[in-house]
Amino acid sequence: MTRSVLALIAAVGCFGSDAQNPDPLLSVRRVYVDKLSGVNSGGVRDMIVNALQNASLFRITEDFDKADATIRGSADDQVFTDTFQSSEGVHASTSIGTGLGSRVGIPRLSANVGDQESIRIAERKHEATAAIRLVNREGDVIWSTTQESQGAKFRGAGADVADKIVRQLQADLERARRPLNAAQPTPVKH
Protein backbone atom coordinates (compact mmCIF):
# COMPACT_ATOMS: atom_id res chain seq x y z
CA MET A 1 0.00 0.00 0.00
CA THR A 2 2.77 2.41 0.92
CA ARG A 3 4.64 1.62 -2.28
CA SER A 4 1.62 2.40 -4.43
CA VAL A 5 1.12 5.73 -2.65
CA LEU A 6 4.81 6.56 -3.16
CA ALA A 7 4.57 5.54 -6.82
CA LEU A 8 1.52 7.77 -7.24
CA ILE A 9 3.31 10.70 -5.58
CA ALA A 10 6.36 10.15 -7.80
CA ALA A 11 4.18 10.03 -10.92
CA VAL A 12 2.42 13.24 -9.95
CA GLY A 13 5.80 14.81 -9.23
CA CYS A 14 7.09 13.87 -12.69
CA PHE A 15 4.10 15.39 -14.39
CA GLY A 16 3.61 18.19 -11.90
CA SER A 17 5.49 20.79 -13.96
CA ASP A 18 2.71 20.82 -16.56
CA ALA A 19 0.06 21.02 -13.87
CA GLN A 20 1.79 24.00 -12.28
CA ASN A 21 2.45 25.74 -15.61
CA PRO A 22 -0.48 24.76 -17.84
CA ASP A 23 -0.40 27.85 -20.06
CA PRO A 24 2.35 27.57 -22.71
CA LEU A 25 2.40 31.36 -22.92
CA LEU A 26 4.21 31.43 -19.58
CA SER A 27 7.14 29.40 -20.91
CA VAL A 28 8.01 31.95 -23.63
CA ARG A 29 11.13 33.99 -22.88
CA ARG A 30 12.48 35.03 -26.30
CA VAL A 31 10.37 36.07 -29.32
CA TYR A 32 11.12 36.54 -33.01
CA VAL A 33 8.75 38.85 -34.92
CA ASP A 34 8.36 37.47 -38.45
CA LYS A 35 7.54 39.61 -41.48
CA LEU A 36 3.82 40.28 -41.63
CA SER A 37 1.77 39.94 -44.77
CA GLY A 38 -0.41 42.80 -45.95
CA VAL A 39 -0.29 46.29 -47.40
CA ASN A 40 2.32 48.52 -45.72
CA SER A 41 2.81 45.91 -42.98
CA GLY A 42 6.54 46.59 -42.55
CA GLY A 43 5.92 49.73 -40.53
CA VAL A 44 3.38 47.98 -38.30
CA ARG A 45 5.89 45.14 -37.69
CA ASP A 46 8.54 47.63 -36.59
CA MET A 47 6.06 49.32 -34.26
CA ILE A 48 5.11 45.94 -32.74
CA VAL A 49 8.80 45.17 -32.13
CA ASN A 50 9.24 48.59 -30.52
CA ALA A 51 6.14 48.22 -28.32
CA LEU A 52 7.19 44.70 -27.21
CA GLN A 53 10.69 45.92 -26.42
CA ASN A 54 9.35 48.85 -24.37
CA ALA A 55 6.96 46.60 -22.43
CA SER A 56 9.79 44.16 -21.53
CA LEU A 57 7.45 41.17 -21.72
CA PHE A 58 9.99 39.07 -23.63
CA ARG A 59 13.44 39.34 -25.11
CA ILE A 60 13.09 40.27 -28.76
CA THR A 61 15.51 38.51 -31.11
CA GLU A 62 16.31 38.95 -34.79
CA ASP A 63 17.54 35.33 -34.92
CA PHE A 64 14.69 32.91 -35.63
CA ASP A 65 16.70 29.92 -34.35
CA LYS A 66 17.14 31.42 -30.87
CA ALA A 67 13.45 32.19 -30.32
CA ASP A 68 11.07 30.22 -28.08
CA ALA A 69 8.14 31.56 -30.11
CA THR A 70 7.43 33.57 -33.25
CA ILE A 71 4.91 36.32 -33.88
CA ARG A 72 3.25 35.88 -37.26
CA GLY A 73 0.23 37.36 -38.95
CA SER A 74 -0.92 40.13 -41.21
CA ALA A 75 -1.29 43.87 -40.96
CA ASP A 76 -2.68 46.65 -43.08
CA ASP A 77 -1.88 50.34 -42.69
CA GLN A 78 -3.66 52.68 -45.07
CA VAL A 79 -4.20 56.39 -45.53
CA PHE A 80 -7.25 57.29 -47.59
CA THR A 81 -9.68 60.12 -48.27
CA ASP A 82 -13.26 59.68 -47.14
CA THR A 83 -15.59 61.86 -49.23
CA PHE A 84 -19.17 62.87 -48.42
CA GLN A 85 -21.18 64.71 -51.04
CA SER A 86 -24.79 65.90 -50.88
CA SER A 87 -26.98 68.19 -52.97
CA GLU A 88 -30.47 69.52 -52.22
CA GLY A 89 -32.64 71.88 -54.19
CA VAL A 90 -36.07 73.54 -54.06
CA HIS A 91 -37.67 75.40 -56.93
CA ALA A 92 -41.11 77.03 -57.13
CA SER A 93 -42.64 78.87 -60.07
CA THR A 94 -45.93 80.60 -60.67
CA SER A 95 -47.32 82.44 -63.66
CA ILE A 96 -50.55 84.34 -64.31
CA GLY A 97 -51.59 85.64 -67.67
CA THR A 98 -54.67 87.16 -69.25
CA GLY A 99 -55.53 88.04 -72.76
CA LEU A 100 -58.56 89.63 -74.40
CA GLY A 101 -59.16 89.35 -78.10
CA SER A 102 -56.64 91.12 -80.26
CA ARG A 103 -55.59 93.86 -77.89
CA VAL A 104 -51.97 94.66 -77.49
CA GLY A 105 -50.47 94.79 -74.00
CA ILE A 106 -51.77 91.65 -72.45
CA PRO A 107 -51.05 91.75 -68.69
CA ARG A 108 -48.93 88.89 -67.36
CA LEU A 109 -47.50 88.13 -63.93
CA SER A 110 -44.72 85.60 -63.31
CA ALA A 111 -42.73 84.66 -60.18
CA ASN A 112 -39.87 82.20 -59.76
CA VAL A 113 -38.20 81.12 -56.51
CA GLY A 114 -35.37 78.62 -56.24
CA ASP A 115 -32.73 77.46 -53.77
CA GLN A 116 -29.90 75.01 -54.29
CA GLU A 117 -27.49 73.76 -51.62
CA SER A 118 -24.51 71.50 -52.18
CA ILE A 119 -21.96 70.20 -49.70
CA ARG A 120 -18.77 68.23 -50.24
CA ILE A 121 -16.53 67.12 -47.39
CA ALA A 122 -13.25 65.32 -48.02
CA GLU A 123 -11.52 64.01 -44.90
CA ARG A 124 -8.11 62.33 -44.76
CA LYS A 125 -8.22 59.18 -42.63
CA HIS A 126 -5.62 56.74 -41.38
CA GLU A 127 -6.61 53.18 -40.52
CA ALA A 128 -4.58 50.18 -39.39
CA THR A 129 -5.52 46.59 -38.62
CA ALA A 130 -3.49 43.60 -37.49
CA ALA A 131 -4.23 39.92 -36.88
CA ILE A 132 -1.34 38.49 -34.87
CA ARG A 133 -0.57 35.06 -33.45
CA LEU A 134 2.21 33.77 -31.22
CA VAL A 135 3.43 30.34 -32.36
CA ASN A 136 5.71 28.10 -30.28
CA ARG A 137 8.59 26.02 -31.70
CA GLU A 138 6.27 23.03 -32.22
CA GLY A 139 4.04 25.14 -34.48
CA ASP A 140 1.16 25.45 -32.01
CA VAL A 141 -0.66 28.76 -31.78
CA ILE A 142 -0.45 29.72 -28.10
CA TRP A 143 -1.94 33.22 -28.32
CA SER A 144 -3.69 35.41 -30.89
CA THR A 145 -5.45 38.74 -31.22
CA THR A 146 -6.96 41.03 -33.83
CA GLN A 147 -6.76 44.78 -33.33
CA GLU A 148 -7.74 47.82 -35.36
CA SER A 149 -7.42 51.57 -35.00
CA GLN A 150 -8.21 54.80 -36.75
CA GLY A 151 -5.45 56.53 -34.87
CA ALA A 152 -5.20 58.00 -31.42
CA LYS A 153 -5.01 61.60 -30.30
CA PHE A 154 -1.23 61.83 -30.33
CA ARG A 155 -0.12 58.85 -32.44
CA GLY A 156 -0.91 57.24 -35.75
CA ALA A 157 -3.07 54.21 -36.38
CA GLY A 158 -0.11 51.80 -36.82
CA ALA A 159 1.44 52.76 -33.48
CA ASP A 160 -1.94 52.55 -31.78
CA VAL A 161 -2.54 49.03 -33.15
CA ALA A 162 0.92 47.93 -31.95
CA ASP A 163 0.20 49.29 -28.47
CA LYS A 164 -3.20 47.56 -28.39
CA ILE A 165 -1.56 44.25 -29.32
CA VAL A 166 1.03 44.56 -26.55
CA ARG A 167 -1.59 45.64 -23.97
CA GLN A 168 -3.71 42.59 -24.87
CA LEU A 169 -0.68 40.29 -24.63
CA GLN A 170 0.27 41.82 -21.28
CA ALA A 171 -3.26 41.35 -19.92
CA ASP A 172 -3.36 37.72 -21.09
CA LEU A 173 0.06 37.04 -19.54
CA GLU A 174 -1.11 38.48 -16.22
CA ARG A 175 -4.30 36.39 -16.42
CA ALA A 176 -2.22 33.26 -17.08
CA ARG A 177 0.04 34.01 -14.09
CA ARG A 178 -2.86 34.64 -11.71
CA PRO A 179 -3.71 30.98 -10.93
CA LEU A 180 -0.03 30.29 -10.20
CA ASN A 181 0.16 33.19 -7.77
CA ALA A 182 -3.15 32.27 -6.13
CA ALA A 183 -2.02 28.66 -5.57
CA GLN A 184 1.11 29.70 -3.67
CA PRO A 185 0.56 30.16 0.06
CA THR A 186 1.16 33.64 1.40
CA PRO A 187 3.61 33.94 4.29
CA VAL A 188 2.02 34.53 7.66
CA LYS A 189 3.46 37.34 9.79
CA HIS A 190 3.78 36.64 13.51
Indicate whether 32 and 110 sit together in one domain.
no
pLDDT value at residue 23: 85
What's the pLDDT score for residue 14? 46
Q: For residues 10 and 128, is the Cβ–Cβ distance under 8 A?
A: no
114 shares its domain with 158: no
Same domain, 56 and 131: yes
Is 59 within the bounds of a domain?
yes
The pLDDT assigned to 119 comes to 87
Q: State residue 90's pLDDT score.
A: 83
- pLDDT for res 8: 47
57 within some domain: yes
Residues linked to residue 167 through DSSP beta bridges, in sequence order: none
Provide the residue range defining the domain that includes 96: 84-120
Tell whether 15 is covered by a domain. no
Assess whether 151 and 72 both reside in one domain: yes
| CATH number reported for the structural domain that contains residue 67 in this entry | 3.30.160.150
74 in the same domain as 42: yes
105/39 same-domain check: no
21: nearest Cα among 185, 186, 187, 183 = 183
pTM, two decimals, is 0.65
- pLDDT averaged per 10 residues in sequence order, the chain, 190 residues: 51 47 85 93 94 94 95 92 85 72 65 84 88 95 95 87 96 84 55
The predicted structure's pLDDT at residue 152: 79
- Do 69 and 136 lie in a common domain? yes
Long-range CB pairs of 135-144, under 8 A, 24+ apart, other chains included: 135/69, 135/70, 135/71, 135/72, 136/24, 136/27, 136/28, 136/68, 136/69, 137/67, 137/68, 137/69, 140/24, 142/23, 142/24, 142/25, 142/28, 142/69, 143/25, 143/169, 143/172, 144/73
Q: What is the pLDDT of residue 92?
A: 81
Residue 39 belongs to some domain of the structure: yes
Number of structural domains (the chain) is 2
Residue 105: partners with Cβ closer than 8 Å, 6 or more residues away: none
For residue 80, the model assigns a pLDDT of 80
